[in-house]
Amino acid sequence: MVLGKETEMGLKELFRANAEDFMSLMLIAEKLEQLGKKEEAKALREKALVELGHAKAIFETLLRHQQLNNVVGSMAKEEQDQHVSEYNKVAMTAKQEGHEDIEKMLCSFAEQEAKISETIKAVAKAL
């Protein structure tokens, strides 16, 4: 059965949110570990793995209703359209606010994001 547009968009948003939460929790746990807060780091890593499990389940749900090449193709488009433009937008704002170091970093990342998009597009074509 084909997913309804709203359900598909909602699942994609939930996937991104869970993936983001996973990464954020892991990064915070890493910092806590560096500060010697081992128990707190362990607790956050455990919760991060729950978030990763949610992301994987949602991804598998999307794959049950779409072909892999469609999921990958959609990801490539989002990578190019959203991520690159967002990096550039924030970079220009940072520059206007006097943070040229942040602007340079983000512009560099935007170039990398464009290359990531190209790679994802090539993989989608290969599927």
pLDDT in tens, 27-41: 999 999 999 999 999
88 and 106 in contact (C-beta within 8 Å)? yes
Predicted TM-score (pTM) of the model is: 0.79
Cβ(114)–Cβ(85) below 8 Å: no
Cα dihedral 18/24/27/29 (nearest 10): -80
Each residue's pLDDT tens digit, 39-95:
999 999 999 999 999 999 999 999 888 888 888 888 887 777 777 788 889 999 999
Residue 3, pLDDT above cutoff 90: no
Residue 120 or 29, more confident? 29
Q: What phi and psi values does residue 20 have, to the nearest 5 degrees?
A: -65, -45
Nearest to 116 by CA among 76, 81, 71, 61: 76
